[in-house]
Structure 1
Amino acid sequence: MTLRFTRSAAVFVALSFGVLSCADAVEYKQVNASASTLSFTYNQFSSQVYGTFGKFEGTLDFDTANPSAARAGLTIQLDSIDAGNSDANEELKKPAWFDTATYPQGTFESTRVNALGNNRYSITGNLTLKTITRAVEVPVLLKSESGIGIFDGQLTLKRSDFKIGAGEWADTVVSDDINIRFRMVAPQQ
């Protein structure tokens, strides 16, 4: 006699017999943008510059019992950039950089999520800036605190891959490597 279980039945059996704890089967479906952060660093004249994007919206459908079915998305309002001073902020909105009048948003859409163990995941997806789309892979650590999921991740992009900082800025005054860091906060469902 062969027994077959659906995914839901298998999770129920695992929970019932203690194979999988309730803490292991958690769903996150809503990003709290006001509690989340999106920041970046780069080097300019050998000094590190820190900045943030103040307006973005995240989407999430993440079940820790089935991470391969997870989906994540991010829409960034590029004119919400803050690189530490008003002159830099206005420069970064110009056509040589983000050209926010023509391209007001940047987007990320996941295409695959892999569980790496110990609450670590690899999220692969498409990042689009100035209509240029590149595949990126983002390592993410999920921390759970009092019913809140905190997804911490970082990656390094090459600004030249997206034609950001063209013309006189294409040289080494501003580093080509831009380090992106995010902290997305989502309540358990």
Structure 2
Amino acid sequence: MSASTLSRRLLLTMALSGTAFSLPALAAEPQSLVAAKSEVTFVAKQLGVPLDGRFKTFSAQTAFDPKAPQTSKIAFTVDLGSVALNPDADTELAKPEWFNIGKFPKASFQSTAIKALGAGRFEVAGKLAIKGNARDLVVPVQLTQAGGLSTATGTFALKRLDFKVGEGDWADTSVVANDVQVKFKLVLQGVPAL
């Protein structure tokens, strides 16, 4: 028997017995968003008065395994033209000074790292891009599971001027506050058990 044949047989035997090799961790399986049960809302302040708004159209591409978050990826896209605040504001927000949806129709988030904090809590770091401006963002996420569905919820703050949302006269933060609170609830099918 030649050395190469012996070597191949030895490697095959070791691989089959599981003592020599292990496969790298597989990436998490993709999940699907249950859009009808999910929501993205925000609170902005104009002249100190809170204004509640939401986005009607968004999508998520997730491959998330709560037991192996380091192999997971999350991407999220919001259709900025689907904003719902009030009819006058919705028309104004489409303009170049605000979202400029003719040039930048979508906002997006792409994860770069996910860390488990315990008890279904995770820290998702990534890049948020709005109106052609990208910023690092860390989002706290709580994951709960019931009835075959997983619900990811979280809240984070952003500064609208970091993304050039509200330029020109609208950059005056005494009229429209710089801070915006964003809340989300994403209902997903296919997330492995915690």
Report the TM-score range of the alignment, normalised by the length of the smaller protein: 0.7 to 0.9
Q: Which amino acid aligns with 2:177?
A: S
Deviation at 1:47, TM superposition (A): 0.8
**For residue 111 of structure 2, what is the aligned residue in structure 1?**
110
Structure 1 residues 167 and 33 mapped into 2: Cα distance closer, same or farther (>3 Å)?
same
Structure ID, larger Rg = 2
Question: Counterpart of 1:50?
Answer: 52
Q: Calculate the TM-score normalised by the size of structure 1.
A: 0.84
Q: CA deviation at 1:34?
A: 2.1
Is the contact between residue 61 and residue 75 of structure 2 (CA under 8 Å) also seen in structure 1?
yes
Residue type at the aligned position of 1:118 = A
- How far the C-alpha of 1:35 sits from its partner, in A, is 1.6
Answer yes or no: is the 8 Å Cα contact 1:138–1:155 preserved in 2: yes
Q: After alignment, is 172-181 or 29-38 more displaced? A: 29-38
| 1:174 match: secondary structure | coil
Counterpart residue type for residue 90 of structure 2: N
The within-5 A match list for 1:47-86 is 47-83=49-85, 85-86=86-87
Name the counterpart of 1:154. Answer: 155
Q: CA deviation at 1:30?
A: 1.4
1:132 matched to 2:96? The reply is no
Alpha-carbon distance in structure 1 between the residues aligned to 2:21 and 2:70: 19
* Structure 2 CA distance for partners of 1:169 and 1:73, relative to 1, 3 Å: same
> 2:126 & 2:109 partners in 1: Cα distance?
7
Q: Could you say what secondary structure the match of 1:63 adopts?
A: coil
Shift of 1:69: 1.0
Structure 2: 5+ residue stretches without partners: 1-18
Percent identical residues: 35
- 1:119-162 residue CA offsets vs partner (Å, 9 max, x unmatched): 00000011111111111000000011111100001110000100
Residue 96 (structure 1) aligns with: 97
**Which moved further from structure 2: 140-149 or 26-35?**
26-35
Q: Distance in 2 between matches of 1:30 and 1:114?
A: 21
Distance 2:162 2:102 in 1: 20
Cα offset, 1:175, TM superposition = 0.7
- Distance, in Å, in 2 between the alignment partners of 1:52 and 1:5 is 50
Note if 1:178 corresponds to 2:173: no
2:88 aligns with 87
Give 1:98's aligned amino acid.
F
Which ranges of structure 1 fall in alignment gaps of 5 or more residues? 10-25
Distance 2:182 2:143 in 1: 17
Normalised by the length of structure 2, the TM-score is 0.82
Q: Distance in 1 between matches of 2:127 and 2:22?
A: 32
The whole-number CA distance in structure 2 between the counterparts of 1:167 and 1:4 is 64
How far did 1:188 drift?
2.8
After the TM superposition, which parts of structure 1 deviate over 4 Å for at least 4 consecutive aligned residues?
A: 3-9
CA distance in 2, matches of 1:8, 1:179: 39
3-state SS in 1 of match to 2:64: strand
